[in-house]
Amino acid sequence: MTTASDRNPGALLDRSDERLKDRSGAKGAIKGFLDRVRSGDLGSLPVVVGLVLICTIFQTLNPVFLSPNNLVNLLFDCSTVGIISLGIVCVLMVGEIDLSVGSVSGLSSALLGVLWVQWGWPVALAILAAMAVGFVTGCVYALLLNRLGMPSFVSTLSGLLAFLGLQLYILGPTGSINLPYDSPLVNFGQLLVMPHWVSYTLAVVPGVLALLLGYRKAQRRQAAGLSSRSVGGLLLQAVAITLALELVAYYLNQSRGVPWMFALFVGLVVAMNYALKRTQWGRSMTAVGGNREAARRAGINVRLIYASAFALCATLAATGGLLSAARLATASQQAGTGDVNLNAIAAAVIGGTSLFGGRGSAYSALLGIIVIQSIASGLTLLDLSSSLRYMITGCVLAIAVIVDSLARRSRVSHGRA
Q: Which of 11-25, 134-148, 199-213, 274-288 has the weakest average pLDDT?
A: 11-25
Question: Residue 395 is inside which H or E element, if any?
Answer: helix 386-413
pLDDT tens string 78-115? 999 999 999 999 999 999 999 999 999 999 999 999 99
CA–CA dist 411, 389 (Å, integer): 32
Torsion of CA 388, 392, 398, 402, to 10 degrees: 150
Cβ neighbour number for residue 330 with a 10 Å cutoff: 19
pLDDT score, position 217 = 85
pLDDT score, position 13 = 42
Assign 42 a pLDDT band (cuts: 50, 70, 90).
low
> Residue 294 phi/psi, 5° resolution?
-65, -40
pLDDT score, position 295 = 92
pLDDT score, position 70 = 93
pLDDT score, position 14 = 47
Indicate if the pLDDT at residue 20 is higher than 90: no
Task: Show Cβ contacts of residue 189 under 8 Å, excluding neighbours closer than 6 positions.
Answer: 76, 261, 323, 324, 325, 326, 327, 328, 329
Burial 253-264 (b: 16+ CB within 10 A, else e): beebbbbbbbbe
Coil, strand or helix at 29 = helix
Give yes or no for a contact between 89 and 359, defined as CB atoms under 8 angstroms apart.
no
Q: Report CA torsion sign: 277, 366, 357, 323.
A: positive
pLDDT tens string 324-372? 999 999 988 888 777 888 889 888 888 888 877 888 889 889 988 998 8
> Residue 133 phi/psi, 5° resolution?
-60, -40
pLDDT score, position 314 = 96
Domains delineated in the chain:
49-191+260-405 (1.10.3470), 193-258 (no CATH)
What number is the average pLDDT over the span 168-183? 88
CA–CA dist 331, 108 (Å, integer): 9
CA–CA dist 165, 168 (Å, integer): 5
Provide the mean pLDDT of the chain: 84
Indicate if the pLDDT at residue 56 is higher than 60: yes
pLDDT score, position 54 = 86
Distances (CA, A) of 230 to 17, 224, 227: 14, 15, 9
pLDDT score, position 16 = 44
Cα Dmax for the chain: 94
CA of residue 375 relative to chain centroid, distance: 18
Indicate if the pLDDT at residue 9 is higher than 70: no
Distances (CA, A) of 170 to 125, 167, 176, 331: 18, 5, 10, 11
Cβ neighbour number for residue 126 with a 10 Å cutoff: 22
Indicate if the pLDDT at residue 18 is higher than 70: no
Assign 17 a pLDDT band (cuts: 50, 70, 90).
very low
CA–CA dist 284, 294 (Å, integer): 11
Q: Which of 45-49, 160-164, 222-226 has the weakest average pLDDT?
A: 45-49
Q: Which of 27-36, 138-147, 210-219 has the weakest average pLDDT?
A: 27-36
Give yes or no for a contact between 332 and 116, defined as CB atoms under 8 angstroms apart.
no
More confidently predicted of 346 and 131: 131
DSSP for 149-196, please give it.
---HHHHHHHHHHHHHHHHHHHHTTT-EEEPPTTSHHHHHHHT-B--H
> Residue 268 phi/psi, 5° resolution?
-65, -40
CA–CA dist 270, 307 (Å, integer): 22
pLDDT score, position 124 = 94
Task: Show Cβ contacts of residue 337 under 8 Å, excluding neighbours closer than 6 positions.
Answer: 102, 106, 164
CA–CA dist 411, 413 (Å, integer): 5
CA–CA dist 340, 335 (Å, integer): 8
pLDDT over 70 percentage in the chain = 86
Assign 15 a pLDDT band (cuts: 50, 70, 90).
very low
Q: Which of 74-88, 223-237, 298-312 has the weakest average pLDDT?
A: 223-237
The most confident of the ranges 12-21, 24-33, 64-73, 212-221 is 64-73
Q: What angle do helix axes 302-328 and 340-350 make, rounded to 10 degrees?
A: 120
Q: Report CA torsion sign: 250, 256, 260, 263.
A: negative
pTM (2 decimals)? 0.86
